[in-house]
């Protein structure tokens, strides 16, 4: 039986982007690996007690034996479950997952390998990847390497052949649990349980671990072959200057802003508001990002200083930072929203199917009366978006850029552009 014959594509480096991303064309010059033949017989017939070399231990004392893929070692993190049926690469490279392990409820993961274009940042951020079954085959016309190869290169531990349904039910019953993944047989279960119990993401500023170290420009729009929005196709390139606070910004937020005609300057999360305003932005984006929103007062203070100066758009962590800048408070959800099919009702009553990834939320009753809760998550009634009209501020708790998930909320980017254009017209008058 042929063993795995996945050719080594050009290695995906985990360097942080300092300047414009390599053009998509550069990515295509890598010889894609379209499919791999896997040693099915041995993997399918080997008995668990022979192949299980990895444990997931949860803080509730449960121990889950599985098969490792990717990196070896030991990692600790908060376990969340994501119900998306596609887009594991976008999830893997979303900086919002720093400090977390992601359990995929979709039972088959890895079948399309890893390509060089669908990256949401320059590296994988999650601490561990928990799957039911690692696909025995890799087959996709854009695949450049297998998922295990990428995880190994990114130093992320994967564990497969665990009962992801049982763990998901447990998380839904008890709420998020901290966990430890290890391939180190010398560590006792009790040691690992203590490690899981001794760790928490609450109160942690994870943004400082993922933000860029210096400003850079972003030019790449959504590729023409993927563009779906008429308004984006008709937009005038570079007509508006957006400064984006990088709290762990996903690349597709910037691709969508560029597609709607914006020129984007990405800045470190802690850049003082005065320096940002000196860049003469037409609008400011507060991005998605990992960790506890109440642990980044520096971001809230900058948001307060900027509010009312220029139009602002907050996405996910940015929504939570602006919610605090408005005077509101955030709180931690039981197990959060992580998936691609959550219904959200917007201000017109239209229901959008949304892409979600958050464990914290804004308390509606903590907001001042000037702030309108514009979007509601219909699964649990939580605040999914806000508008502060007189400050020209709009926020979305979920991910209008999708990646992965549905593009129902893509018009949010159009709304932000229209808000900036209106402000520009008023200023010129």
Ligand X SMILES: NC(=O)CC[C@H](N)C(=O)O
The dihedral built from the CA positions of residue 224, 227, 233 and 235, taken in this order, carries a sign that is negative
Annotated catalytic residue, options 54, 212, 316, 412: 316
Q: Write each residue from 91 to 130 as x if it is in contact with ligand X (CB under 6 A), else as -, in one continuous string.
A: -----x----------------------------------
Segment contacting ligand X by CB under 6 A, of 21-29, 172-180, 222-230, 282-290: 282-290
Residue 233 structure tokens = 């196709």
Residue 128 or 293: which CB sits closer to ligand X? Answer: 293
Q: Assess whether 52 carries a catalytic annotation.
A: no
| Three-class secondary structure of residue 274 per DSSP | helix
CB of 182 or CB of 288, closer to ligand X = 288
Q: Does 385 engage in binding with ligand X (CB under 6 A)?
A: no
Task: Answer yes or no whether residue 386 interacts with ligand X by CB under 6 A.
Answer: no
Residue closer to ligand X, measured from CB, 84 or 288: 288
The reply on whether position 300 binds ligand X by CB under 6 A is: no
Our finding on whether 405 is near ligand X (CB under 6 A) is no
293/385 with CB nearer ligand X: 293
Size of the site for ligand X (CB under 6 A): 12
- Is residue 286 close enough to count as binding ligand X by CB under 6 A? no
Q: How far is the CB of 203 from ligand X (least distance, A)?
A: 12
Piece in contact with ligand X (CB under 6 A), picked from 164-172, 208-216, 283-291, 297-305: 283-291
Taking CB under 6 A as the criterion, the residue among 113, 283, 289, 404 binding ligand X is 289
The smaller minimum CB distance to ligand X, of residues 38 and 317, is found at 317
- State the minimum distance, in angstroms, from the CB of residue 209 to ligand X: 12
SS3 at position 395? strand
Site string for ligand X, 305-324 (x = CB under 6 A): -----------xx-------
Interacting positions 333-362 with ligand X (CB under 6 A)? 357-360
Token pair, residue 278, equals 């000196």
Distance CA 20, CA 285 (A): 18
Q: Does 253 bind ligand X (CB under 6 A)?
A: no
Taking the least distance from each CB to ligand X, the nearer of 160 and 330 is 330
- Point out which span in 33-41, 61-69, 135-143, 286-294 binds ligand X (CB under 6 A): 286-294
CA 371 – CA 376 distance, rounded (Å): 14
Of the candidate spans 123-131, 185-193, 226-234, 289-297, the one that interacts with ligand X by CB under 6 A turns out to be: 289-297
* CA–CA gap between residue 300 and residue 329 (Å, rounded): 11
Cβ(294)–Cβ(284) below 8 Å: no
Q: 393 φ, ψ to 5°?
A: -120, 135
Please, what is the angle between helix 317-325 and helix 297-306, to 10°?
70
Cβ neighbors of 117 (< 8 A, separation 6 or more) are: 24, 27, 142, 223
Place of tokens 């099915």: 40
Q: How far apart are CA 306 and CA 278, in angstroms?
A: 11
Q: DSSP E strands: which ranges in 110-255? A: 128-130, 133-134, 138-139, 157-160, 177-182, 216-218, 240-246
CA distance 54 to 73: 9
Catalytic, 316? Answer yes
Which residue in the list 149, 352, 399, 412 is annotated as catalytic? 399
Nearer to ligand X, 68 or 357 (CB): 357
Taking CB atoms, the residue at the shortest distance from ligand X is 316
Q: Report, in Å, the least distance between residue 347 CB and ligand X.
A: 22
Instruction: Name the minimum Å distance from CB 127 to ligand X.
Output: 14
Question: Among 291, 311, 385, 405, which residue interacts with ligand X (rule: CB under 6 A)?
Answer: 291
Q: What residues between 22 and 81 interact with ligand X by CB under 6 A?
A: none
DSSP 80-143: EEE--SS-HHHHHT-GGGTTEEEEE-SSEE-TT-B-SS--SSSS---SEEE-SEE-S-EE-TT-
In the complex with ligand X, which residue's Cβ is closer, 55 or 319? 319
Rounded Cα–Cα distance for residues 124 and 105 (Å): 19
H helical segments located in 24-155: 24-28, 40-45, 48-51, 88-92, 147-154
Which is nearest to 313 in space by CA: 279, 352, 264? 264
**Residue 294 in contact with ligand X, rule: CB under 6 A:** no
Strands 157-160 and 128-130: parallel
Rounded least distance, CB 286 to ligand X, Å: 10
Please give the angle made by the CA atoms of 82, 96 and 123, to the nearest 5 degrees. 100
Give catalytic residues, as residue numbers.
Answer: 316, 399, 401
Contact residues toward ligand X (CB under 6 A) are 96, 288-291, 293, 316-317, 357-360
């Amino acid at each position: 039986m042929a063993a795995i014959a996945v050719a080594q594509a050009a290695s995906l480096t985990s360097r942080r982007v300092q300047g414009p991303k390599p053009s998509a064309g550069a990515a295509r010059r890598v010889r894609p690996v379209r499919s791999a033949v896997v040693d099915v017989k041995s993997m399918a017939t080997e008995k668990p007690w022979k192949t299980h070399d990895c444990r997931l231990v949860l803080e509730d004392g449960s121990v889950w034996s599985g098969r490792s893929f990717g990196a070896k070692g030991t990692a600790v993190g908060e376990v969340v479950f994501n119900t998306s049926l596609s887009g594991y690469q976008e999830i893997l490279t979303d900086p919002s997952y720093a400090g977390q392990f992601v359990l995929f409820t979709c039972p088959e993961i890895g079948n399309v390998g890893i390509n060089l274009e669908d990256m949401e940042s320059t590296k994988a951020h999650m601490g561990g990847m928990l799957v039911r079954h690692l696909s025995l085959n890799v087959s996709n016309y854009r695949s450049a390497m297998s998922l295990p190869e990428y995880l190994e290169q990114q130093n992320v531990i994967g564990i497969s052949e665990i009962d992801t349904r049982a763990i998901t039910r447990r998380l839904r019953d008890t709420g998020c649990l901290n966990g430890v993944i290890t391939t180190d047989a010398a560590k006792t279960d009790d040691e690992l349980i203590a490690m899981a119990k001794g760790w928490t993401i609450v109160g942690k500023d994870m943004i400082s671990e993922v933000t860029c170290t210096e400003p850079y420009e972003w030019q790449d729009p959504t590729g023409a072959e993927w563009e779906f929005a008429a308004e984006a196709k008709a937009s005038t390139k570079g007509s508006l200057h957006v400064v984006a606070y990088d709290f762990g910004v996903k690349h597709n937020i910037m691709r969508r802003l560029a597609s709607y005609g914006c020129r984007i300057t990405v800045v470190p999360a802690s850049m003082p508001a005065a320096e940002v305003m000196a860049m003469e932005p037409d609008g400011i984006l507060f991005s998605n990002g990992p960790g506890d929103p109440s642990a980044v007062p520096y971001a809230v203070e900058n948001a307060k200083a900027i509010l009312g100066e220029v139009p602002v758009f907050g996405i996910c962590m940015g929504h939570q930072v602006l919610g605090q800048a408005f005077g509101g408070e955030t709180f931690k959800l039981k197990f959060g929203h992580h998936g691609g099919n959550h219904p959200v009702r917007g201000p017109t009553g239209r229901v959008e199917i949304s892409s979600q990834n958050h464990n914290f939320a804004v308390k509606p009753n903590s907001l001042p009366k000037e702030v309108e809760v514009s979007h509601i998550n219909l699964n649990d009634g939580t605040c999914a978006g806000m508008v502060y009209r007189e400050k020209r501020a709009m926020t979305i708790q979920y991910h209008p850029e999708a990646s992965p998930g549905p593009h129902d909320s893509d018009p949010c980017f159009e709304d932000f552009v229209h808000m900036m254009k209106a402000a520009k017209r008023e200023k010129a008058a």
